[in-house]
Amino acid sequence: MWKRTTTVVTRVRDFGDRPAFDDPPAEVIAEAAGAFGLLASSARLHIVWALAQGESDVTGLAERVGGALPAVSQHLTKLKLAGLVRSRREGRRQVYFVDDPDIVAVVRLLIGRLAERADRTPARRLRGAGA
C-alpha cells in the first residue's frame, strides 16, 4: 500500500501495530539533503526560525538575527531559490515568509527540543577554565 504525505510518497508495510516504511526514491532523499544542507548554516537556520514565527522584511530580519543587511539578503536569495522561503511585495518593501508548514514544523520541533534540552542540562564548563 502506498501512502502519500504532503511532500513524500512512501510505501507502508504493516507489521501488526508497527508499520515499516520502504526507502523513499533517491530524488526525495536528494531534495531533503539539499534542504538540510541549506539549513546547516546557522545564519540561514536562524532566518527560517524567525520567519517561522512570522513574516518580516529584510531589515527586520537583519536586526532580529544580528546579521548584516547584505548577508541576510544573500541568505534569503538562496532560501528563495530552494523554495524554503517565499516573498511578496508590499509597496516598496519585500516581505518574506515560510509558506511550507512542513518546514515550519521541522524547524520548530528541532529548535524547540534542543532549547528544552539546554534548559534541563546544567551549563557545561569549558576545559581549562579556572574556578
Contact (Cβ atoms closer than 8 angstroms) between residue 62 and residue 50 = no
What does DSSP say about strands 18-21 and 86-90: parallel, antiparallel, or unpaired? unpaired
Beta strands in 58-117 (DSSP E): 86-90, 93-97
Contact (Cβ atoms closer than 8 angstroms) between residue 84 and residue 48 = yes
Q: How many CB atoms lie within 10 A of CB 75?
A: 24
Domains of the chain by residue range: 2-117
Per-residue model confidence as pLDDT tens digits over 19-64: 667 889 999 999 989 989 989 999 999 999 999 999 999 999 999 9
Structural fold of domain 2-117: Arc Repressor Mutant, subunit A (1.10.10)
| CA Rg value for the chain | 19
Q: Is the predicted pLDDT of residue 10 greater than 90, yes or no?
A: no
